Amino acid sequence: MNLEELLAFAGRHTLLSLGLAGITAALVYTEVARLFRGYKALRPAELTGLINRENALVVDLSSSNDYEKGHIAGSRSVSPSQFDPESKLLAGVKALPVAVVCRNGTASAAAAQRLKKAGFEQVYWLEGGVQAWQQADLPLVKGRR
């Protein structure tokens, strides 16, 4: 296929061509934004390694009921409304690895961005949240810590 045939196809199928261009632009934007967001997304196995190798602080933004039903061992519960990068819990860990999790990964992504803006050097986010952790068949601890 040459450029002439491609342009002829685009002329005959305008909506299809515009849709392809839109999807391509959205994918490029998403990937570029991911590169510059400042924190790193982790899969459950990667978070396990970070906890074991570097003793990462895991901050869980799940509701207290969800936290009590099951959370990552050693994680600290913080309600999303009380999450503050300048809190006592986070005061001395700006240079240490901090991983933020929640039930599905939505609230924790915003919290990871806040930590990065506050000057934290090693910020991680559990992609998919505690649900992804469960789907990976990793253990959860029940009860309040």
As annotated, the active-site residues are 102
Segments of 7-141 assigned E as strands: 40-42, 57-60, 76-77, 97-101, 122-126
Spatial distance between the Cα atoms of 45 and 93, rounded to a whole number of angstroms: 23
Inter-residue contact 97 to 56 (CB < 8 Å): yes
